[in-house]
Structure 1
Amino acid sequence: MEFDVIQGDIAAQSADALVNAANTSLRMGSGVAGALKRAAGSGIDDEAVAKGPVELGGVATTDAYQLDADYVVHAAAMPAGGQATAESIRDATRNALAEADALDCDSVVLPALGCGIAGFDFDEGVRIICEEIAAFEPDSLSEVELIAYDDDEFERMRQVAGEVRA
């Protein structure tokens, strides 16, 4: 499916669903999870943890609380205290898209799952995510955005997305 690459703070985005870069415990710490938790309010972390743990590559959905979204899909691209793998990023991306689609969402925003504190190579991880988005066949999703926080990541993400689309 088609998708866009955008730059900004995921916690400031407006979409039916926002995807959290989670670990299998679903406890929201730093990075994307920390940004979402700060903007949503503390209840989101409590709800997420109550739904965990999940399998590596698995997802759980919570309310979005104070965020401008209906849902937060917590995608576990890394084990708690561990590192992401190509397979875990692929599974987490595919499962996050499927979950948003099953919730009848029209729009979803995803970060570079597994590519921050999870330690996976950024360009390779983004390529996997872009391949999964491109291959996804939605029922309800029509707007998918992959988000980068800073200028460097945005440019690299745009380049990799362009290569996948070519």
Structure 2
Amino acid sequence: MEYDIIRGDIAAQSADALVNAAGTSLRMGSGVAGALRRGAGEEINEDAMAKGPVDLGAVAVTDAYDLDAEYVIHAAAMPHYGDGEATSESIRDATRNSLAKADELGCQSLVIPALGCGVAGFDLMEGAEIIGEEIENYEPETLEDVRFIAYSDEEYDAIRAATGSADQSEMTEAGESDR
């Protein structure tokens, strides 16, 4: 399956589902989770925490509330805060389970961040390569539009380089609100 690499604020995206880079507790703290919580409203954090904790690599789904999406898929690529870091296996599982859950929900579009590569401490280049491989190898049922989102220019460039997309000539801007 082909996908686009875009730069922007995940909370400003319009898609059937947005993926949250979550810890196993599903508590929405900083980074991607914080951006989604601010965009959706505090109810999303309460809803997510009520569905947790989940196993490392697992996903849970909430309503997207005030975001321009139907669902938020909370992908636990990292342990609960302070309980360790993301691993290649947890990133691979969280990515694969996010794609499968989006298909199960009948989603056609999905936006996914660099799971486990922020506060979870996993190397961005290696994580992006894993996520890119999982997206490319996934055989979708309903998914047609998958966007791998980066927040900063540095993150965007690293994802492009790690996924072999560095030859694309222009960066796609996608959402202007602050993270």
Give TM-score, length-normalised by structure 1.
0.97
Q: Tell me which residue corresponds to 1:157.
A: 159
Count of aligned positions: 164
Question: What does 1:1-166 correspond to in 2, within 5 Å?
Answer: 1-80=1-80, 81=82, 82-162=84-164
Displacement after TM superposition at 1:159 (Å)? 1.7
Displacement after TM superposition at 1:163 (Å)? 6.0
Unaligned runs of 5+ in 2: 167-179
User: Deviations for 1:64-84, whole angstroms, at most 9, x for unmatched residues?
Assistant: 000000000000000102210
Displacement after TM superposition at 1:14 (Å)? 0.4
Displacement after TM superposition at 1:156 (Å)? 1.3
User: Deviations for 1:72-102, whole angstroms, at most 9, x for unmatched residues?
Assistant: 0000000102210000000000000000010
Output the aligned Cα RMSD: 1.1
What is the alpha-carbon distance in structure 2 between the residues aligned to residue 7 and residue 77 of structure 1? 21
What is the alpha-carbon distance in structure 1 between the residues aligned to residue 52 and residue 2 of structure 2? 31
Displacement after TM superposition at 1:154 (Å)? 0.6
Could you list the runs of 4 or more consecutive aligned residues of structure 1 that deviate by over 3 angstroms after TM superposition? Answer: none
Displacement after TM superposition at 1:160 (Å)? 1.7
What is the alpha-carbon distance in structure 2 between the residues aligned to residue 156 and residue 76 of structure 1? 22
What is the alpha-carbon distance in structure 2 between the residues aligned to residue 49 and residue 3 of structure 1? 30
Give TM-score, length-normalised by structure 2.
0.90
What is the alpha-carbon distance in structure 2 between the residues aligned to residue 154 and residue 77 of structure 1? 20
Displacement after TM superposition at 1:158 (Å)? 1.3
Return the letter of the residue paired with 1:8.
G
What is the alpha-carbon distance in structure 1 between the residues aligned to residue 147 and residue 5 of structure 2? 6
Return the letter of the residue paired with 1:57.
G
3-state SS in 2 of match to 1:139:
coil
Percent identity (aligned): 67
Return the letter of the residue paired with 1:121.
D
